[in-house]
Amino acid sequence: MRKIISLCFITLVFLEACNVNDTVKRDDPLEVGREFIDASLKGNYERAKKFLLPDSLNMEYFNVQESFNKRLRSQEKEGYKSANIIIDSIQNVSDSVTIINYSNTFKKTPDKIKLVRANKEWFVDFKYTFSGNL
């Protein structure tokens, strides 16, 4: 009985530790943006989706990007996974819109994401990456 209780306790501690690492404060656009970019680079698309503004066009663009990235050669996937994010600039367009211009150490190609605040939380408006419209 003691072993079962100990095992349950250890399991609960482990699960709690995993949950702590998965929580992100959504009150900071830079933190949300970095988490989204990092998850995308590492190929963790389920995690990246958690940061998307719930919008059908966003999901459509994201799914196309995910499909494209899954077809990359393993060498490129590894390059993205090990890449660091380089934040080039942050533009606070308004109190509810922030643009992050960034690149990564693997491809070094400039890119951008738009973050919008909805219901006091920040989300990635992924369609801006393709359209550039505010």
Other Cβ atoms within 10 Å of 96 Cβ, number: 13
Other Cβ atoms within 10 Å of 29 Cβ, number: 23
> What is the pLDDT, as a whole number, of residue 128?
81
Whether 2 shows a pLDDT value over 70: the answer reads: no
36-80 tens-digit pLDDT: 999 999 999 999 999 999 999 999 999 999 999 999 999 999 999
Which CATH code is given to the segment(s) 27-131?
3.10.450.50
Give the Cα separation of 40 and 81 in Å (integer).
Answer: 9
CA 38 → CA 4, 14, 89, 96, 118, distances in Å?
Answer: 38, 24, 17, 22, 22
The pTM score is 0.78
With H, G, I as helix, E, B as strand and everything else as coil, classify residue 126: coil
> What is the pLDDT, as a whole number, of residue 133?
64
